Structure formats: C-alpha cells, structure tokens
Amino acid sequence: MNGYIDTHNHILPGLDDGPDTIKEAVEMARVAQQHGITKIIATPHHNDYHCPSRQEILATLELLTSALKKEAVPVEIYPGNELRIALDLPEQLKSGEVLSLAHSKYILLEFPFDGVPLFAEDIIFRLRLDGWIPVLAHVERIYDIQRKPDRLNKYIEMGCLTQINSNSLTGELGRASLDAGKKLLKAGQVDIMATDAHAPYRRAPDFTGALKIASKIIGQEAAQKLVRDNPAKIFT
C-alpha cells in the first residue's frame, strides 16, 4: 500500500523557521517515515519574515534529496511554498518566483492567523481565473474561521480545498485550533490533513495520533483519504 503524503512541511533546512541543518532535516524525514509518510511536499514560508528564492528552495531540495539517498531514508521530497495571501500573488505565480505544490496547479495558500483580509475573495478569484487550485493552509488556526467556520463555504464554492494540521487535532497548538479542527471535520469541510512540521520531535512530521482522532470523528476510511487519496490528486 502506498504511504501517506504530507503536503505542508517545513523540512528544508536554513530557509525559514524549520530545521537549521541538513542533519536535522534528515532526522525529520526519518521520523516521517516511521509514521508512514513516503512523500513530503516541502513548503517553506513565503511571507513578510521568510522569503527564500525559488533557486534557494530548489538547490536545498537537491541537497536534502542526496542526503536522504546517502542515509537510505526512503522518503521523496517535492518542492513547494506556503504562500501568504498578498495582492501581487497572482503575478508572483505567473513569473515563477514562487512555487506551486510539486509543480502542479495546486498552491498552498495561507491566511494571516488574526483574520482573513478583505481582499482575499478578489485574490482567490484571480488565482482561479489563472487556473490555480488554492489549498487553504491550516484553516482551523485562522481566528475568523474559528469564530465562524461557515466563512469557509464561500472559498470552497470558489474551488478552494482546505487543509488542517495533524498537531491541531492532537492539541499541540491549543484549545481553539483543536476545537475548530474537530468542528470542521464533523462538518465535512476538510479535504487534506498535513503535518506542518517544523522539527523532528516537537511540531513533528507525525500523523499517527491525529489519524486516530480523525477516525473517531469521520470514520477510518474518510480519515485515510485526508492523507492519501486527496493529496494524491496533486500528483496526477
């Protein structure tokens, strides 16, 4: 059986607030493998604080891939970005400055935690016109969505997919994210679960505990879809 696919992960070292060294990144991949993950899309931040270039991302990915080969860790890493919503995002994608998920038409799109900006709908509309499918990152962590989960419906109707973090379901990110994550699952508003891992052991690439919790809420088959069938569509 194919392994799990992690579509949101900060494994590339030295580019954002993920690991500092290749050694630590290899350890993250080892932990991911122990939790059944065989494919990781590396999604370094692209926001006001971290903004690695496309070249830096692809070069670091190459270094990590050869280190994993050398260490015999059978996890494949693909390029991507976690893209903070911005007015010029459609242009940045068009010029290729920023990366989609594994060179597909899917992009990982992040709203600020403290609220969805007023221009979000306009930008999503433009992204959809350009053929992109936004995967909304960790929707359960966004204050406006925690308060009013129905706000997600308009983005879903516009063609967005939604992603929650595994460590929200295990409670690592606090009560509000845990409650919102469960509520969104119950309402059928979640397409993908990802780890959003930043390190090997804390905020780790770990699906095991979260899959048990998700299975209790939506059943085992539906929970598996969040980490297998749905993310696999990015690769087709």
The secondary structure of residue 12, as a DSSP letter, is S
Looking at 55-63, 79-87, 119-127, 184-192, which segment touches Fe ion (CB under 5 A)?
79-87
Nearer CB in complex with Fe ion: 140/196: 196
> CA 13, 16, 18 angle in degrees (round to 5)?
55
The closest alpha carbon to 9, from 56, 78, 58, 89, belongs to 78
Within residues 13-42, the interface with Fe ion by CB under 5 A covers: none
Give me the least distance between CB of 10 and Fe ion, in Å please: 6
The end-to-end CA distance of the chain, in Å, is 17
Residue nearest to Fe ion (CB): 196
Residue 110 vs 144, nearer CB to Fe ion = 110
Q: Which stretch binds Fe ion (CB under 5 A): 19-27, 65-73, 190-198, 202-210?
A: 190-198
Among 27, 82, 191, 206, binds Fe ion (CB under 5 A): 82
Rounded to the nearest angstrom, the gap between the alpha carbon of residue 209 and the centroid of all alpha carbons in its chain is: 18
- According to the binding rule CB under 5 A, does residue 140 interact with Fe ion? no
Kindly state the number of chain residues that form the binding site for Fe ion, as judged by CB under 5 A: 2
Contact characters 191-220, Fe ion, x per CB under 5 A: -----x------------------------
Contact 37, 102 (CB under 8 A): no
Q: CB within 8 A of 149, min separation 6: which ones?
A: 180, 183, 184, 187, 189
Amino acid at 235: F
What is the contact mask toward Fe ion in residues 52 to 71, using x (rule: CB under 5 A)? --------------------
Shortest gap between Cβ of 177 and Fe ion (angstroms)? 13
Q: Under a CB-based contact definition with an 8 Å cutoff, are residues 185 and 212 in contact?
A: no
> Which residues make up the interface to Fe ion (CB under 5 A)?
82, 196
